[in-house]
Amino acid sequence: MANVNLTINGKAVSAETDDRTLLVEFIREHQGLTGTHVGCDTSQCGACLVLMDGKAIKSCSTLAAQASGSSIITIEGIATGAELHPVQRAFKENHGLQCGFCTPGMVIAAIDMIERLGPDLDEPTIRKELEGNICRCTGYHNIVKAIKAASMQMATQLEAAE
Amino acid sequence: MYETSYNRVSSVTEAATALDAADDPKILAGGQTLIPTMKQRLAAPSELVDIRQVDELHGISMQADGAIRIGATTTHAEVAANADVRAQLPGLASLAGHIGDPHVRYMGTIGGSLANNDPAADYPAAALALGATITTNKGSYSAEEFFTGMFETALQENEIVTAVTFPVAQRTAYAKFPNPASRYAMAGVFVAQTPSGPRVAVTGAGQEGVFRMPAMEAALAENWAADSLGSIQPDAQDMLADIHGSAEYRANLVNVMAKRAVAAA
Ligand SMILES: Cc1cc2nc3c(=O)[nH]c(=O)nc-3n(C[C@H](O)[C@H](O)[C@H](O)COP(=O)(O)OP(=O)(O)OC[C@H]3O[C@@H](n4cnc5c(N)ncnc54)[C@H](O)[C@@H]3O)c2cc1C
Ligand code: FES
Ligand code: FES
């Protein structure tokens, strides 16, 4: 048995689990946070993305034991109370989801890319960065629009803060 | 996934001891190949020795002679973003930045990629074209000695790759035609202008894994230009053929990718 100690959405979690438990199983089945999805068995769809120490990684291809000691943020942890995260709001406003299955992963990927590459992203960059996220409803156009809107909004917020 | 036991170590010595003590262990680095393989039950190690957090295996440094040494657990994202790599070996930085997707690049490591020697992996092309040295806890190998065939390397049981050193090159570039679904190379060509002349290495296409193209190297030694490669291509008999492309298609793709790489270098 592995001893897993980490924080999930700011809350300290300490649990005993099977060594082979995947991080996504730990999050969904042990912690009951079912916003993180499993969309494939081949590590290719990105529905399972979570932020581990600030970086978007595939929780289906990481063991819970490997993540011990880290800080995990899931889709449940990005809004502030009732106020949506700017990326969530942009997905809502731009109709960036249809069935919504890929959306948690898309939103986490978007947060990661905006934080890494800076605000005000252009469309080719966003499309390239989404290489690891598959939308079965194929609604990519509005997903890209939503991420662009969120990145522009974050640019405006930064300017206003200066 | 079959049952396994997980062991995180904090030094190379500790890793070596744990590997020797276990029945059927495997080194776990980024896990971006090993965990998917275990999920499919194609691998079932009794013990995983996690080296991802071993400090001495991590990081990038420039040597006195300008060579760049990259620790085995350095991630693809770190190689792609490193200022020295971008300035000295832009082809290597660009290669790292096009592996898989951003999320694979955060976890996947250069040591894991080389040790795995997937015939469609990108790093082997850079290592062979640049004449890299692969250092382990037991000794070191030239790239030529290291890659011995598809998914085969010269590594002995439980031998740990500790670092890879890339010597200086005047010009480098990598061009890859990715499989649209997996992002692995259907053909990837790394070209380098090195102090001992041009070198060209091909991944993704060959049945035996990564290989060099002496005919292209000779043509580039005469004149470093995409045009001098003419219609030089590998023998289709030695190329992979699968649902993604025939052997003839891949042989031609090698020529096209080599020209793109030379034009970009
Ligand atoms: C969706 C997806 C797309 C991908 N696309 C590409 C691509 O386009 N190009 C590409 O090149 N790769 C691609 N990969 C593979 C990726 O680059 C892997 O990260 C890499 O091949 C293995 O590195 P790792 O650190 O994850 O190794 P692990 O998965 O941890 O280990 C792989 C193997 O190497 C051994 N090993 C690991 N580290 C060492 C060491 N230091 N010494 C000795 N043995 C060691 C392990 O025991 C294991 O057998 C992709 C992977 C995924 C999931
Ligand atoms: S569930 Fe993780 S990549 Fe598909
Ligand atoms: S919205 Fe249905 S999978 Fe993307």
User: Any CB–CB contact under 8 A between A102 and chain B?
Assistant: no
- Contact at 8 Å (CB) between A39 and A48? yes
What CATH number did the domain enclosing A133 receive?
1.10.150.120
Domain boundary among A77, A108, A132: A77
User: Any CB–CB contact under 8 A between A121 and chain B?
Assistant: no
A6 and A72 assigned to the same domain: yes
A153 and A90 assigned to the same domain: yes
Of A107-111, A128-132, B3-7, B180-184, least confident by mean pLDDT is: B180-184
- Is the complex ipTM more than 0.90? yes
A137 and A157 assigned to the same domain: yes
A62 and A44 assigned to the same domain: yes
Q: Is residue B130's pLDDT more than 80?
A: yes
In a domain, residue B146? The reply is: no
Phi, psi torsion values for A92, nearest 5 degrees: -65, -50
As for how many domains chain A has, the answer is: 2
- Angstrom CA distances, B219 to A12, A111, B211, stand at 62, 47, 17
* Cβ within 8 Å, pair A19-B100: no
What CATH number did the domain enclosing B46 receive?
3.30.43.10
Domain boundary among A47, A77, A107: A77
Domain boundary among B54, B69, B87: B54
Taking CB atoms and a 6 Å cutoff, what residues make up the pocket around ligand 1?
A 43-44; B 26-34, 36, 72, 99-100, 104, 107-109, 111-113, 115-116, 121-123, 160-161, 182-184
What CATH number did the domain enclosing B256 receive?
3.30.390.50
Kindly give the distance from the C-alpha atom of residue B33 to the centroid of ligand 1, in angstroms, as a whole number: 4
As for how many domains chain B has, the answer is: 2
Q: What are the residues of chain B with a beta carbon less than 8 Å away from any beta carbon of chain A?
A: 1-6, 8, 28, 31-32, 35-36, 38-40, 48, 50, 52, 77, 100-104, 106-107, 181-183
Q: Which residue in A has a C-alpha nearest to residue B8's C-alpha?
A: A66
Residues in chain A predicted with pLDDT less than 50, given as ranges, are: none
A105 and A143 assigned to the same domain: yes
pLDDT tens per residue across span B139-162: 999 999 999 999 999 999 999 999
Q: What is the pLDDT of residue B97?
A: 97
A72 and A90 assigned to the same domain: no
Q: What is the pLDDT of residue B183?
A: 83
Kindly give the distance from the C-alpha atom of residue A31 to the centroid of ligand 2, in angstroms, as a whole number: 19
What CATH number did the domain enclosing A67 receive?
3.10.20.30
Q: What is the pLDDT of residue A161?
A: 72
For an interface test with A, which of B1, B2, B3, B6 has the most A Cβ atoms less than 10 Å from its Cβ? B6
* Cβ within 8 Å, pair B6-A56: no
A93 and A69 assigned to the same domain: no
A17 and A34 assigned to the same domain: yes
* Cβ within 8 Å, pair B35-A63: yes
Residue B180 pLDDT class (50, 70, 90 cuts): confident
Q: What is the pLDDT of residue A156?
A: 79
Name A18's Cβ contacts closer than 8 Å, sequence gap at least 6.
A1, A2, B3
* Cβ within 8 Å, pair A46-B101: yes
A113 and A66 assigned to the same domain: no
A90 and A153 assigned to the same domain: yes
Q: Is residue B228's pLDDT more than 90?
A: yes
The mean pLDDT of B166-178, rounded to a whole number, is 97
In a domain, residue B130? The reply is: no
- Contact at 8 Å (CB) between A27 and A72? yes
Q: How does the average pLDDT of chain B come out, rounded? A: 97
In a domain, residue B28? The reply is: yes
In a domain, residue B73? The reply is: no
Residue B182 pLDDT class (50, 70, 90 cuts): confident
In a domain, residue B242? The reply is: yes
A95 and A50 assigned to the same domain: no
In a domain, residue B224? The reply is: yes
Domain boundary among B36, B54, B72: B54
A92 and A110 assigned to the same domain: yes
Domain range for B201 is 171-264
Q: What is the pLDDT of residue A159?
A: 75
Chain A residues with beta carbon closer than 8 angstroms to that of B76: none
In a domain, residue B88? The reply is: no
> pTM of the full predicted structure?
0.97
Domain boundary among A77, A100, A135: A77
pLDDT tens per residue across span B47-106: 999 999 999 999 999 999 999 999 999 999 999 999 999 999 999 999 999 999 999 999
Domain boundary among B30, B54, B78: B54
Name B13's Cβ contacts closer than 8 Å, sequence gap at least 6.
none
Name B182's Cβ contacts closer than 8 Å, sequence gap at least 6.
A44, B120
Q: Which of B213, B16, B242 is closest to B129 using CA atoms?
A: B213
Closest-CA residue, ligand 1 atom 17, reads B108
pLDDT tens per residue across span B104-124: 999 999 999 999 999 999 999
Q: Which of B201, B208, B124, B196 is closest to B164 using CA atoms?
A: B124
Domain range for A9 is 2-77
Residues of chain B above pLDDT 70, percent: 100
Kindly give the distance from the C-alpha atom of residue A99 to the centroid of ligand 3, in angstroms, as a whole number: 5
In a domain, residue B149? The reply is: no
Kindly give the distance from the C-alpha atom of residue A104 to the centroid of ligand 3, in angstroms, as a whole number: 10
Residue of A41, A57, A113 lying closest to B107 (CB–CB):
A57
